[in-house]
Each structure stands twice: as structure tokens, then as C-alpha cells.
Amino acid sequence: MPNEVAASDQELARKAKGGQLSAFDELVLKYRKNVYAIAFRMTRNHSDADDLAQETFLRAYQALDSYKPGFEFRTWLYRIAVNASINHLKRKGRRVEMSLEDNAGLDVAASTSSYNPGTGIEEKELREKIETAIQHLPLKLRSVFLLRTFEDLTYEEIAHVLNISKGTVMSRLSRAREKLKIMLREYVEGKNE
Amino acid sequence: MRCSQVRKLLSPYIDGELSERKAEKIRDHVSHCTICGEALQALQNLDALSRETYAHEPSEAYWANFLPRLHRRIEAAPPRSFQEKVRHVFGDILFPSGPWLKAAGAVASVVLIFFVGRAVIQHKGIDTLVTSPGEKRFRENVERVADTVPERAQKGEVEIEDKEDTAHQKDAAEREPSADLDRQEEFVSPPVTQKSEGTKGSPPVTLEAKETEAPPPAAQDRGAERVSISPSAPKEADEAIRTYVETQKSSKKMYAVTGDESQLAYEQALRSQKLGENESASAQFQYILDNYPKSPVADDAQFQLNLAQRSGALESQDLSGWQQQRDAWRDFLQTYSNSELADEACLRLAESWFHVANMTLSKEDLSQALEVNRNCLIKRKGESVLKKQIQDLEKALKEHTE
């Protein structure tokens, strides 16, 4: 993230901390879609993602006092979002238990009807399988993978978000990818682009 | 570099997280090692495929409503806990990690909080502990409501109950943590603590509950708000701290007194939903619709109810489930045509029609579904899901005709 962007975030956070709700609103408007996307990718559910996005900003607002200027606001916010999502999933005990094959028979079969010929089905099925495979990752691996793949965070930024070392980020990401490669072997191996 | 070493570094390699020297070594290796080359290709494929996965993109209407909803939530949220405030001020010294240290720290904290609290309150007053805008608003509400209590008690709008009764209700609430909407006290009996001795223009209210006159019969009505007034000694610091903590505990219920009960019920329902108590949440949304049909959150409640039913339809995937969904969204759009959620509801209606037509495969349903989807696309331009549905429906209709 460019330094000037981080600096303007910090300035807004400082103003928000001083009681300027409009400054906090600016931060919300800037990051609401990223926060929602993180929550959605963690939960795969709009209703949960909506609630978690709201909760993230509520918690951030309430914790502004503890925000330390100098710490990148975005990573601080993402930390809240990831923690809220993980806690939510733990509470709900909503680890996907179905196998990939089982899952392929549920939403995919339902939403791709018998009259959907052509590559549409294959693409959608593939997408569904990838999503399900990601959902099968343990939460620790999933959060690292999502932050890297979809938020394009560097290892250092992920380390800040999750409060872990850069080395741990690297090993978790490698493990996540290895697991995904195994689950999606038929789609990712032997396909030269 | 050996293959095993290279494999370990492939992941950071594709992320550009290796030093140039190491990256160069990887490039050299994979250029002549087929197996590692394939492993690298597989990782790159995986990365590319993952990035193509579907991320739900809510409508503009949703985003337009996001901030106002957040503001409502901030206003309705209870202030941060007293412990968090102390932690913020004193850091982890008072709340160390480790079970024994925690216990010892907690005891020390209580003692320290007592003395520091007394010193601060005697010197500046409890307000100095409250700083955030949300809390200021919260306290203003408390004070505003507290000011009206004596007058309202006289008019019979509020009922002053004795402490024993309050304790009983508290026990009952602890026994049944899930919100029971039939029990009015969950929403409208905030155990407000009253420090002042009456307000201008109204006779002072005796603070001791046992000395309070019995409330007029009107107060016995179901809708009457019941407020407990506990004996207090405001000048005592420890009592002030207790009062402050109690006030925070009752913050959720305070909003019942401010009159926005539907909003409170809605917040409660969302909390239940968040906790996975879907049945309870649905009952609460229904409660709002039954009791506050004109509330500004009525459309939100109906929307959430419909969404809950949608989860059921998605799971069961039977025709009747999707037909119910279709009817539910149609009703929603008729009832709340001006709602900010109308666009989102339109999308859901199109989806329901798509599933219904997909299952019945009747020409009539396919045509109807196609029309609904096309109409929705006018409002939701660029919605890829709709385009896909329309494409599929057109194909199906064509096949049907042939």
C-alpha cells in the first residue's frame, strides 16, 4: 500500500479517534467492500458477511482509543474482520463437513439445471469446487490464503493482520496451497496455460 | 538447489516474496527440472483459478444503506466494558496472561479500580471516564430518560418496582438467555438506576423503592414501561462505580425506554441470527412485523425473514420451497415498493422464479421467469447472475419450443 494512502488513513483514524464521526465514515466508505469481501469469503454467506462487516466497523469504532497511530489502519481493520469471522465460524461450528463429491451434488446440481448445456456448467462446477475446497481449509490456513489471493496483501501485511510471523505466513500459505492442489488435482495439474 | 528445497520455495516464489538471488535459482532449476516445472505450473494454475471464484457483490442499494445501518448500530451498541476501559488506561499490567496471574491481577484490579475510581470521581466526576461519541450519546439518553422518570411515574407511564422484583427478573433472564418476545420485560423493563432526586417542575420521587407509592392502575398495563429505582448514595465513590457498571449492563434495555422498541427488537433479532439461533431470530423478525408494521425496520425484518426462508429453499431444493420464496419476494415488493432493499428483493424474486421454472420446466413458468429476470436486469444492470439466468431460461424456452 502506498505510504501516502496509509498516512491519510491514519490521519482519518486520528480525527475519528478525536470524535469526528465523518472521518470514521470516510474510512468505512473506503474499506466496506474489502471488509465485506473478507467476511463473505470466510463464510460464503451474504447474511453472515453483512453482519460481520457491520460488526467489524462497530468494533473498530469502539476500539478507536486503542488504535495506535503508526500502525497501518487497513491491516488493523482487517485483523478485526478476520478475527470476527473466525470467531463467528467457531461459534457456529460451521466447518463444511461434506466431501467435495457430496457438495457437487447440492448447490451445483440444483442451480445448474438439466437444460444448461455447454461450458457454462463446467465453469460453474469448477468454480464451486474451488470454493468448496477453500472452505475445507482449516481456518488458520484459509485466512492466510484469502488475504493473499483476494486482498493481495504481502506476507508482511498478512503477518500484521494475523499477528503472526512472516515465516508462519509463508509456511501456512504453502500448506494451504498444497492442500488445495491435492483437492483440486484434476483441475490444476497438467494444464499448461 | 535440490528439488525438495525448490518445492518449499515455490509458493513464495509465485508471490514474489523471494530475494532476487533465490528467485533466480528457482528459475534456473525449473528450466531444466520437469517435475518441479510442473509443480510450479500447478501452483500458478491454482492461483489463477482461485482468483476467478465468485465473490458476492451486493447491490448499490445495499451499499447505500450500509452506513446508515452502521450509525444505527453504533448508537444502539452498549458502551465498552469498564474492564476494557481500565485495560486501555493501564495496559496489560492489570490483566496479565496466565490463569493464576489473571486471578491475582483481577483481585488487584478491583482494589485499584476502587481507589482510582474514587479519586477520579471525587476529583472530576464519573464523566471523565466516558469519552467516545457513542458513549456520550448513550449517557445523554440515560440522563434524558432518567429526568423523565419521576414525571412519567406520576402519570402512570412507568412503574416503579422494588429491587426484589428486579432481582427476580434478572435471575429469570439469566435462566433463559435467549430473548423471549412474549415477555415484555425483555424489551421494555429497563432496570434504570436513578441517581437524581427529581426534576424541575415535578415533585421529588422517593428513592427508596419500599417508600414509593403504589403506581396507578394504568401502569399495570402490558405496554407500561417499568423502571426500577434502586437506593443510591451518589457521593460514595464505590456506589457510583457500581451504578455506572449497572447502567452499562442495562444499556440494551435503555433503548426500550427511548421509545424505539422495534429498532431494539431488530438489533436483538440480528444478534440471535449472528449466534446461529435462527428460529429465535425469525420469531423476533416476525414479532416486529406483527407489532410494529409501520416501523422503519419493518422492511428489514421482512427481508431477513425471507432470506432465512431462502436458506431453507436452498437446502431442500424442492419446488414448494422455491414457490414460497417467489411468493414471499413478490409480497415484499408489493408491500415495500419504496424500500431501499427493493432492488435486492427483485434479484431474489428473479432467482426464485428461475428455480421454479427450472423445476417445473413448463412453458408458462419459463416465460414468466424470463420476463421477471429481464425486468430485474433493467434495474440491476451488469448483474452477471441475472444475465446467466436469462441466458439459461432463453435456451430452455427454445428447447421447449423445438
Q: How many domains does one find in chain A? A: 1
Cell of residue B258, nine digits:
427511548
CB contact at 8 A, B146 and B194? yes
In a domain? residue B366: yes
Cα-trace Rg, chain B: 30
Q: Count Cα neighbours of B386 within 13 Å in the Cβ-side half-sphere.
A: 23
In a domain, B141, yes or no: no
Using pLDDT thresholds of 50, 70 and 90, give the confidence band for residue B100: low
In this complex, do B38 and A170 lie within 8 Å of one another by their Cβ atoms? no
Q: Looking at residue B85, what is its pLDDT?
A: 52
**Is B250 part of a structural domain of the chain?**
no
With H, G, I as helix, E, B as strand and everything else as coil, classify residue B226. strand
Q: Please give the residue range of the domain that contains residue A15.
A: 1-94
Among residues A77, A84, A192, A86, the alpha carbon closest in space to that of A140 is found at A86
* Cα Rg of chain A, angstroms: 19
Asked if residue A61 is part of any domain, the answer here is yes
Question: E-strand spans in B105-243?
Answer: 158-161, 225-228
Burial of B354 (0-12, 13-18, 19+ CB in 10 A): buried
In this model, does residue B149 exceed pLDDT 90?
no
For residue B177, being part of any structural domain is answered with: no
**B284/B186 Cα distance (integer angstroms):** 12
Residue B208 within any structural domain of the chain: no
Task: For residues A120-148, give the mean pLDDT.
Answer: 85
Whether A80 maps to a domain, the answer reads yes
In a domain, A167, yes or no: no
Give the integer Cα–Cα distance in Å for B279 and B275: 11
Instruction: Work out the pLDDT band at A125, boundaries 50, 70, 90.
Output: confident
Phi, psi of B226 (to 5 degrees): -115, 125
pLDDT at residue B314, rounded to an integer: 80
- B179: amino acid identity, one letter: A
Domain membership flag for residue B57: no
Residue B102: the pLDDT is 56
Sign, CA dihedral B215-B221-B225-B230, equals positive
Predicted confidence at residue B224, as pLDDT, reads 37
* pLDDT for residue A10 is more than 90: no
Q: Which residue of B has its CA nearest to A17?
A: B132
Among A residues 88-127, those touching chain B with beta carbons less than 8 Å apart: 88, 91-92, 94, 106-107, 110-111, 113, 115-117, 120, 126-127
pLDDT in tens, A72-93: 899 999 999 999 998 888 877 6
Tell me if A187 and B45 make a contact (CB, 8 A cut-off). Answer: yes
C-alpha distance from residue B278 to each of A152, B178, B282, B285, B290 (Å) = 34, 11, 6, 10, 18
Please provide the average confidence, as pLDDT, over all residues in chain B: 68
CATH code (residue A41):
1.10.1740.10
Residues B173-184: pLDDT tens digits? Answer: 443 333 333 333
Q: Is B344 a member of any domain? A: yes
Classify each residue of A48-61 as buried b or exposed e, where b means 16 or more C-beta atoms within 10 Å of its C-beta.
bbbbbbbbbbbbbb
pLDDT tens-digit readout, B351-396:
899 888 888 888 888 898 999 998 888 877 777 888 888 888 888 8
Q: At what angle are helices B237-249 and B82-90 packed, to 10 degrees? A: 120
pLDDT over 50 at B25, yes or no: yes
Single-letter residue type at B56:
H
Cell numbers placing B154: 406520576
Question: Please, which residues bridge with residue B226 across strands?
Answer: B159
pLDDT of residue B202 exceeding 60: no
DSSP B250-299: THHHHHHHTT-HHHHHHHHHHHHHHTT-HHHHHHHHHHHHHH-TTSTTHH
CB atoms within 10 A of CB A136: 19
pLDDT-derived band of residue B41, with 50, 70 and 90 as boundaries?
very high
**Residue A112 is assigned to a structural domain of this protein:** no
pTM beyond cutoff 0.80: no
User: Does residue A40 sit within a domain?
Assistant: yes
The count of structural domains within chain B is 2
| Banded pLDDT at A121 (limits 50, 70, 90) | low
Q: Does the pLDDT value for residue B325 go beyond 50?
A: yes
Is the predicted pLDDT of residue A170 greater than 90, yes or no?
Answer: yes
CATH code where residue B348 lies: 1.25.40.10
How distant is the alpha carbon of residue A27 from its chain centre?
Answer: 18
The confidence score (pLDDT) of residue B262 equals 75
Q: Which residues of B touch A134 (CB under 8 A)?
A: 50, 53
- Contact criterion met (CB < 8 Å) for B66 and A28: yes
Please give the residue range of the domain that contains residue B21: 3-51
List of chain A residues whose C-beta atoms are within 8 Å of the C-beta of residue B131? 65
**Cβ(A104)–Cβ(A183) below 8 Å:** no
Total residue count of chain A as it appears in this document? 193
CB-CB neighbors (< 8 A) of A154 in chain B: 17
Band of pLDDT at residue A190, cut at 50, 70 and 90: low
Q: Where is pLDDT greater, at B197 or A51?
A: A51
Q: Which of B51, B69, B89 is the last residue of a domain?
A: B51
Considering only CB atoms, which chain B residues are within 8 Å of A177?
11, 43, 46
The reply to whether ipTM tops 0.85 is no
User: Is the pLDDT higher at B92 or at A121?
Assistant: A121
B304 to chain A, any CB pair closer than 8 A? The answer is yes
Of A107-111, B83-87, B214-218, B254-258, where does mean pLDDT reach its minimum?
A107-111
